[in-house]
């Protein structure tokens, strides 16, 4: 079965500290993985996708098929990074399967 | 561009009544719209996929007679919760995908908070 697991509900760091939001997936096939972000009082929006191998707002994520992981990383967190982050997998029929989300709090 | 709106943003209804939630793509034509439900502190769960002009495809465990979805035009999809009960209280989110867009290019609405009393 396809599944996305985000083990941390809350991650709190101080400004300037490194951040890693964990995501593990279960999928039989070649997955497409994404990170979505939801800032306070805003709608869900796409942050980045693994196939583009891009860095958005300083965040990167590498797909590790051996560990079935797609952790989101940023070397120096900023206060404006505080938000809810969802890892997602594109499954059959192009449906998105979401993890439960991790709330990132960056303290000044 | 690529804005999706939902109306209403919040609704309170009495048990046994029906409530309709609208999802609109404001500046693009959405051939596919998705309806999600989000429980407190839980993930977004896909309820159904609707394609313009055809019947919605419901996920396993979602009652199609309870959650009626209509996608009558390229810019509007509606979700009607029929005979609502308190357990239907939740946050409902829609997303829209444009014609020919890649799978992940879904634009999300702001969500509708439904409270059934």
Closest CB from B41, B43, B49 relative to A95? B49
Q: What is the pLDDT of residue A93?
A: 73
Q: What φ, ψ does residue A6 adopt, rounded to 5°? A: -120, 105
Cβ atoms B32, B54 nearer than 8 A: no
Mean pLDDT calculated for residue range B105-116: 92
What percent of chain B is predicted at pLDDT more than 90?
Answer: 68
Q: How confident is the model at residue B46 (pLDDT cuts 50, 70, 90)?
A: very high
Asked if B5 is an interface residue toward chain A (Cβ–Cβ < 8 A), one would say no
- Count CB atoms within 10 A of the CB of residue B45: 16
Q: What is the pLDDT of residue A91?
A: 77
**Residues β-bridged to residue B11:** B114
Average pLDDT, chain B: 91
Q: How confident is the model at residue B104 (pLDDT cuts 50, 70, 90)?
A: low
Q: What is the pLDDT of residue A44?
A: 92
Q: What is the pLDDT of residue A99?
A: 94
Render pLDDT for B54-94 as a digit per residue (tens, 0 to 9): 889 999 999 999 999 998 888 999 999 999 999 999 999 99
Does B43 sit within 8 Å of A86, measured CB to CB? yes
Asked if A67 is an interface residue toward chain B (Cβ–Cβ < 8 A), one would say no
Q: Which residue of B has its CA nearest to A48?
A: B104
Predicted confidence (pLDDT) at residue A28 exceeds the cutoff of 90: no
Cβ atoms A4, A63 nearer than 8 A: no
């Amino acid at each position: 079965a396809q599944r996305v697991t985000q083990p941390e509900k809350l991650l709190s760091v101080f400004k300037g500290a490194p951040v890693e939001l964990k995501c593990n997936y279960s999928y039989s096939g070649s997955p497409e993985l994404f990170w979505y972000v939801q800032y306070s009082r805003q709608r869900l929006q796409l942050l980045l996708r693994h196939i583009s191998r891009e860095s958005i707002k300083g965040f990167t994520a590498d797909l590790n098929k051996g560990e079935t992981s797609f952790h989101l990383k940023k070397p120096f967190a900023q206060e404006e990074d505080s938000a809810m982050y969802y890892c997602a997998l594109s499954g059959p029929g192009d449906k998105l399967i979401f993890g439960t989300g991790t709330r990132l709090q960056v303290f000044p | 561009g690529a804005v999706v709106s939902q109306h209403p943003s919040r609704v309170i209804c009495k048990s046994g009544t029906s409530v309709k939630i609208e999802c609109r793509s404001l500046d693009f034509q959405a051939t596919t719209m998705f309806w999600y439900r989000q429980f407190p502190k839980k993930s977004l769960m896909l309820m159904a996929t609707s394609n313009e002009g055809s019947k919605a495809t419901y996920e396993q465990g979602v009652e199609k007679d309870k959650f009626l979805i209509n996608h009558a035009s390229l810019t509007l999809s509606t979700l009607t919760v029929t005979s609502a009960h308190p357990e239907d209280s939740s946050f409902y989110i829609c997303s829209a995908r444009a014609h020919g867009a890649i799978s992940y290019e879904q634009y999300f609405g702001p969500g509708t908070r439904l409270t059934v009393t």
